[in-house]
């Protein structure tokens, strides 16, 4: 399903995932980095707090101490709150991902159920909800392909991923044969969330001075007033952030995977979330211009991994 939408975001009907209370069998990526002692986004040294590169509520245990000033702590928390509590709320519950307030999780999830031409709304428990995840895959980042920096429209596609094979049985228990879940997708907030993950990972692994120029901090800085049209300065989000096809199914060792990709002088971070359930498709964040003397660890080099997989296949 491909569709063009206004550049701020879209509203779609989606069968987002939910169900059961089993812990994921794949471990979370986990690493404690040395304290940065300055804000990873602006360099401030005042009122610093710890930064989870992938949010705690999404299985994030890549931790960069003393790396976020008060302004950026609030800015990143707000966008994470929307992504985790609204867009991915049911998914997190389904996979029993961490929560600082587990008692605050909803007791049910509203669905529109259908059967024989009839439709009705129902609040469905997690145990009865169909286990379908519909990932939003953005257009590839525009910079590598030479697309305009600030296009008027953007497109995306939805990738269906089945957590459980018994969706039909689950729907039958509810007296339905199909369903939909109206989900509000704010494309800019999704891009800002990904930009934060990519930028912070690059700083943690390579150092804050590794980037000669930072490309996505303006997306992280941006704060829209509710209902206000986003400013022109962040209309370039899809120039820096987009979908990424890794070209093959990745064997999952952890729930999420982050890798570096060189594009000439530019450095991208490949953000691959929920690898066991979406083994091929990820996101790319072009985080900045890498200094010539900086070397990427081989074990984190996406280009080297892709080359090795081709060699093995041959």
Q: Name residue 178's beta-bridge partners.
A: 114
β-bridge pairing 61-68 and 30-32: parallel
- The residues, ordered by sequence, that sit 6+ positions from 87 with a Cβ below 8 Å of its Cβ are 183, 184, 185, 186, 189, 190
Strand 10-14, strand 178-185: pairing:
antiparallel
Using H for helix, E for strand and C for coil, what is the string for 228-245? Answer: CCCCHHHCCHHHHEEEEE
**pTM (predicted TM-score):** 0.85
Instruction: Give the pLDDT confidence score for residue 225 in this predicted structure.
Output: 46
Using alpha carbons, select from 170, 163, 156 the residue that is nearest to residue 111: 170
Q: What pLDDT does residue 6 have?
A: 34
Residue-wise pLDDT tens for the chain (314 aa)?
333 333 333 322 333 332 333 444 688 999 999 999 999 999 999 999 999 999 999 998 999 999 999 999 999 998 888 888 877 877 787 788 888 777 777 777 788 899 999 999 988 887 888 877 677 889 999 999 899 998 888 888 888 777 777 888 889 999 999 888 766 678 888 999 999 999 999 999 999 999 999 999 999 998 754 444 557 789 899 999 999 999 999 999 999 999 999 999 999 999 999 998 889 999 999 999 999 999 999 999 998 865 455 444 44
pLDDT number for residue 82: 82
Question: Within 10 A of 185 (CB to CB), how many other CB atoms are there?
Answer: 17
Contacts of 227 (CB under 8 A, 6+ apart): none
What is the rounded CA–CA span in Å between residue 314 and residue 298? 21
Instruction: Give the range of the structural domain holding residue 57, as residue numbers without chain letter.
Output: 2-313
CB 144, CB 262: distance < 8 Å: no
Phi and psi for 189 in degrees, rounded to 5?
Answer: -65, -40
Cα separation, 139 vs 146, in Å, equals 13
* Count of domains observed in the chain: 1
Mode of pairing for the β-strands spanning 118-124 and 109-115: antiparallel
**Per-residue pLDDT at 312:** 43
Tally of CB atoms within 10 A around 97: 21
The predicted pLDDT at position 297 comes to 95
Length in residues, the chain:
314
Give 87's Cβ-side CA count (13 Å radius).
23
Q: Are 8 and 186 in contact (CB under 8 A)?
A: yes
């Amino acid at each position: 399903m491909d569709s063009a939408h206004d550049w701020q975001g879209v509203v779609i009907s989606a069968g987002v995932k939910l169900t059961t209370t089993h812990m994921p069998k794949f471990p979370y990526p986990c690493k404690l980095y040395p304290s940065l002692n300055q804000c990873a986004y602006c360099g401030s040294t005042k009122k610093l707090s710890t930064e989870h590169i992938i949010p705690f509520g999404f299985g994030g245990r890549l931790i960069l101490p003393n790396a976020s000033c008060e302004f950026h702590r609030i800015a990143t928390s707000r966008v994470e709150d929307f992504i985790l509590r609204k867009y991915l709320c049911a998914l997190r519950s389904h996979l029993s991902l961490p929560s600082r307030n587990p008692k605050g999780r909803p007791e049910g999830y509203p669905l529109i159920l259908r059967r024989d031409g009839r439709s009705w709304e129902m609040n469905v428990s997690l145990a009865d909800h169909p286990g379908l995840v519909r990932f939003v895959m953005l257009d590839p980042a525009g910079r590598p392909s030479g697309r305009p920096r600030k296009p008027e429209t953007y497109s995306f596609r939805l990738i269906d991923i089945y957590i459980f094979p018994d969706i039909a049985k689950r729907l039958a228990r509810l007296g339905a044969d199909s369903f939909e879940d109206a989900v509000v997708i704010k494309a800019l907030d999704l891009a800002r969330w990904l930009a934060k993950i990519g930028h912070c990972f690059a700083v943690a692994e390579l150092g804050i001075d590794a980037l000669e120029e930072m490309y996505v901090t303006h997306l992280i800085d941006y704060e829209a007033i509710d209902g206000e049209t986003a400013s022109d300065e962040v209309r370039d989000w899809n120039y820096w952030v987009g979908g990424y096809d890794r070209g093959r199914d990745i064997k999952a060792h952890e729930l999420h995977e982050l890798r570096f990709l060189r594009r000439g002088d530019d450095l991208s971070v490949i953000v691959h979330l929920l690898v066991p359930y979406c083994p091929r498709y990820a996101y790319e964040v072009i985080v900045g211009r890498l200094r010539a003397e900086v070397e990427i660890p081989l074990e984190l080099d996406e280009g080297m991994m892709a080359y090795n997989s081709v060699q093995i296949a041959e």
